[in-house]
Chain A
């Protein structure tokens, strides 16, 4: 996956996050949206990468997790809790995907996993989340996505 494509994936996640939790939150609507995003991410991954690259096996899941991270900033309530949980999901995907890939001889992405974990842990300390803080968090996520 080239850096260009990976930043494109990031932009896609950002765009998808825009549609989530708008208006009245309904289980079926949000579920359908997330399902749609997941399918789009899968198709995107298949288009830009080869299916034989083991690194891409959990790429759509990472995109979905990133999308969830972005989307939590627009939640009305319990933002901190869901923010942490969305990052935990991202960490989960990276960690266990990494463990199963490490078995097949692909190096575990320590930097990425630790960065997400650190951000996840430190965001539990956030008190009321301001607009600036939201922006800051987004920058952090994008940085982790692209740099690590």
Chain B
């Protein structure tokens, strides 16, 4: 049975890999997008798989904190499925990028150049949430599996579940904001956050139900919960229809109407019937996401798109089965593997011992308060720093848009701090080596992002050609020395003439006295006697010791230079007069 399933998933994965490879090579042109739809199927699949990734945490963490009793292997299986679905989900937004190697620029992390991601963008929120959620899910699964054997792990199990509870809902809420916070008419909707959560939980439950069928047992409560989900999804679809005027009948049939066959006892009591009901939910939800991303219909689904769907299911199946078999001892504990258990009846909440705690005294709260405090503190510090960066660089932002970043930061930091004590005091050699390896990996990644890649030089050749200024206004005798035209000409004069003639128009003493014949003293009288045209001629064609500048200076600029020299001579005479007057005044 397992072998057949494995081969089926491999058969899905291999053509899926081919189409994934083609998509990576070809870029976004590979899958179906049109002039109005920029995103295409990978994003539908992302939303679909991240939705499935909610079931595990929902069933395990949320039910745990709400004291709904659940069999250990159901919840661990669901968590494992969460992780596998999360891996699949994380691939799609990465591969849909146009420039995949730039993906790290989405992280809200200042690099050494001081450039920073735009923290007001829903995609950045997404990135942070998925990262934090992935981290916490891994930690939670490890803690859960170890909690049978180790008391330390067991002690942080429930507190971690409390941390995951808001986080899992936050993730899908933020995914919904990718759509709700845009100007696409088909995506508008302030109800999207809850709508997406309901959809995610609903499809996740369907997946878990299929999985339980595969394991050979069932949980009636989960099936009922799935049905309640289908009603709510229907209500949301109708509300969407009421607001925007288009209803997806196919989705309604698959995700809402067909699951109602569960009420037929023949369907409900056969494994195949339950699998079919849950599969219809999955198909409906997948279609719902496809129609969501393609409001205009796109340009049809091509072979690459089908391949990507196969890739998702194939990859999920393969990694899930491998992990399931490798971890079977940890998952099953003393229970029977794949036994045909008719009903693993969850204990009713009534049988749970009810314990009353005065406010702020529960053991979970005691375990969580210090990590949470640190989390909130680091979140506040981060936000202050971000606001500072944004203001320093003059980037417009709104305060509301910083809120979605808070939960992943608080939760990730708190989760990390919560695990710190077992990590520091109770880690063995293998764990230690793994930890060091992870630390090195993290350091390398952070350093690479911080350092950033040097850009490729253009390689254009720098040589001696090229004009300095296009001259569109020449100075004349009335120009003041700080007018734009004069300053432009002055720059050319200082580059070309000042070497001998001096920046002040008289002499460059150091150079001329030592090496060169002294150039003509160009006082005002002499310049006026020679006239502008003949001086321009000298500049362009040279004279005794002066080199010709034709070809290096435009005739236009040569005239400008002559006028500039005249201005210099004028100011020199004015200085002279003033100096004389000063001497006279001094006597």
Q: Which residues of chain B from 180 to 199 have any CB-CB distance to chain A below 8 Å in the complex?
A: 180-183, 188-194
A125 near B228: Cβ-Cβ < 8 Å: no
Q: Which residues of chain A from 73 to 120 have any CB-CB distance to chain B below 8 Å in the complex?
A: 77-78, 80, 88, 92-93, 95-104, 108
A38 near B227: Cβ-Cβ < 8 Å: no
- Assuming the A-B contacts A38-B232, A124-B359, are A98 and B242 also in contact, with contact meaning beta carbons closer than 8 angstroms in the complex? no
Cα separation A80 to B188 with both chains bound (whole Å): 35
23 pairs of residues in contact across A and B, judged by CB atoms under 8 Å? A27-B224, A31-B224, A39-B235, A54-B188, A57-B191, A57-B243, A77-B354, A78-B67, A80-B359, A92-B173, A92-B194, A96-B180, A96-B190, A97-B190, A98-B400, A100-B189, A100-B192, A100-B193, A102-B398, A102-B400, A103-B182, A124-B360, A128-B356
Q: Which residues of chain B from 335 to 376 have any CB-CB distance to chain A below 8 Å in the complex?
A: 354, 356, 358-360
Minimal beta-carbon separation of B269 from chain A (angstroms): 17
| Residue numbers in B under 8 Å from A46 (CB-CB) | 242
Interface: B51 (CB within 8 A): no
Of the residues A27, A54, A77, A126, contact of B228 by C-beta under 8 Å: A27
B224 near A100: Cβ-Cβ < 8 Å: no
- Assuming the A-B contacts A35-B228, A100-B180, are A92 and B169 also in contact, with contact meaning beta carbons closer than 8 angstroms in the complex? yes
Cα separation A97 to B173 with both chains bound (whole Å): 10
Bitwise interface map of B from 224 to 254 toward A, beta carbon under 8 Å scored 1, else 0: 1101100110010011001100000000000
| Residue numbers in B under 8 Å from A55 (CB-CB) | 190
Question: What's the interface size class on A, roughly?
Answer: 35 or more
A104 near B183: Cβ-Cβ < 8 Å: yes
Q: Which residues of chain B from 143 to 185 have any CB-CB distance to chain A below 8 Å in the complex?
A: 166, 169, 173, 176-177, 180-183
| Residue numbers in A under 8 Å from B221 (CB-CB) | 27
A58 near B190: Cβ-Cβ < 8 Å: yes
Interface: A137 (CB within 8 A): no
B191 near A97: Cβ-Cβ < 8 Å: yes
- Number of inter-chain CB pairs below 8 Å: 101
Cα separation A124 to B232 with both chains bound (whole Å): 29
Question: Main secondary structure on chain B at its contact with chain A?
Answer: helix
Q: A92-B169, A102-B400 are in contact. List 14 more A-B contacts (CB 8 A).
A: A28-B228, A31-B224, A31-B231, A42-B238, A96-B173, A96-B176, A96-B177, A97-B190, A99-B400, A100-B177, A100-B190, A102-B398, A104-B183, A124-B360
B231 near A32: Cβ-Cβ < 8 Å: yes
A35 near B193: Cβ-Cβ < 8 Å: no
Report the 3 A-B pairs with minimum CB-CB distance, sorted nearest first: A31-B228, A100-B180, A97-B190
Cα separation A1 to B194 with both chains bound (whole Å): 22
Interface: B404 (CB within 8 A): yes
| Residue numbers in A under 8 Å from B173 (CB-CB) | 92, 96
Question: Main secondary structure on chain A at its contact with chain B?
Answer: helix
Interface: B299 (CB within 8 A): no
Minimal beta-carbon separation of B202 from chain A (angstroms): 12
Interface: B403 (CB within 8 A): yes
| Residue numbers in B under 8 Å from A51 (CB-CB) | 242-243
Interface: B26 (CB within 8 A): no
Cα separation A143 to B426 with both chains bound (whole Å): 52
| Residue numbers in A under 8 Å from B354 (CB-CB) | 77-78
B403 near A95: Cβ-Cβ < 8 Å: yes
Interface: A130 (CB within 8 A): no
Task: Give the residue name and chain of the A residue nearest to B65 (CB).
Answer: A81
Interface: A2 (CB within 8 A): no
A92 near B359: Cβ-Cβ < 8 Å: no
Interface: A61 (CB within 8 A): yes
| Residue numbers in B under 8 Å from A102 (CB-CB) | 398, 400-401
Q: Which residues of chain B from 503 to 525 have any CB-CB distance to chain A below 8 Å in the complex?
A: none
| Residue numbers in B under 8 Å from A61 (CB-CB) | 191, 194
Task: Give the residue name and chain of the A residue nearest to B192 (CB).
Answer: A100
Cα separation A28 to B182 with both chains bound (whole Å): 36
Of the residues B242, B359, B398, contact of A126 by C-beta under 8 Å: B359
B239 near A42: Cβ-Cβ < 8 Å: yes
| Residue numbers in B under 8 Å from A93 (CB-CB) | 193-194
Task: Give the residue name and chain of the B residue nearest to A55 (CB).
Answer: B190
Bitwise interface map of B from 394 to 408 toward A, beta carbon under 8 Å scored 1, else 0: 000010110110000
Cα separation A101 to B398 with both chains bound (whole Å): 13
- Assuming the A-B contacts A31-B231, A35-B232, A100-B177, are A54 and B190 also in contact, with contact meaning beta carbons closer than 8 angstroms in the complex? yes
| Residue numbers in A under 8 Å from B403 (CB-CB) | 95, 99
Cα separation A35 to B232 with both chains bound (whole Å): 6
A42 near B235: Cβ-Cβ < 8 Å: yes
A27 near B183: Cβ-Cβ < 8 Å: no
Task: Give the residue name and chain of the A residue nearest to B169 (CB).
Answer: A92
Cα separation A144 to B58 with both chains bound (whole Å): 30
A125 near B235: Cβ-Cβ < 8 Å: no
Cα separation A103 to B360 with both chains bound (whole Å): 37
Cα separation A61 to B192 with both chains bound (whole Å): 10
Cα separation A54 to B183 with both chains bound (whole Å): 13
Q: Which residues of chain A from 47 to 73 have any CB-CB distance to chain B below 8 Å in the complex?
A: 51, 54-55, 57-58, 60-61
B400 near A108: Cβ-Cβ < 8 Å: yes
Cα separation A35 to B225 with both chains bound (whole Å): 12
Minimal beta-carbon separation of A23 from chain B (angstroms): 13
| Residue numbers in A under 8 Å from B192 (CB-CB) | 100
Cα separation A124 to B360 with both chains bound (whole Å): 8
| Residue numbers in B under 8 Å from A100 (CB-CB) | 177, 180-181, 189-190, 192-193
| Residue numbers in A under 8 Å from B400 (CB-CB) | 98-99, 102, 108
A97 near B193: Cβ-Cβ < 8 Å: yes
Task: Give the residue name and chain of the B residue nearest to A53 (CB).
Answer: B243
Cα separation A55 to B243 with both chains bound (whole Å): 12
- Assuming the A-B contacts A51-B243, A99-B401, A100-B177, are A58 and B191 also in contact, with contact meaning beta carbons closer than 8 angstroms in the complex? yes
Task: Give the residue name and chain of the A residue nearest to B193 (CB).
Answer: A96
Task: Give the residue name and chain of the B residue nearest to A103 (CB).
Answer: B181
Cα separation A108 to B401 with both chains bound (whole Å): 10
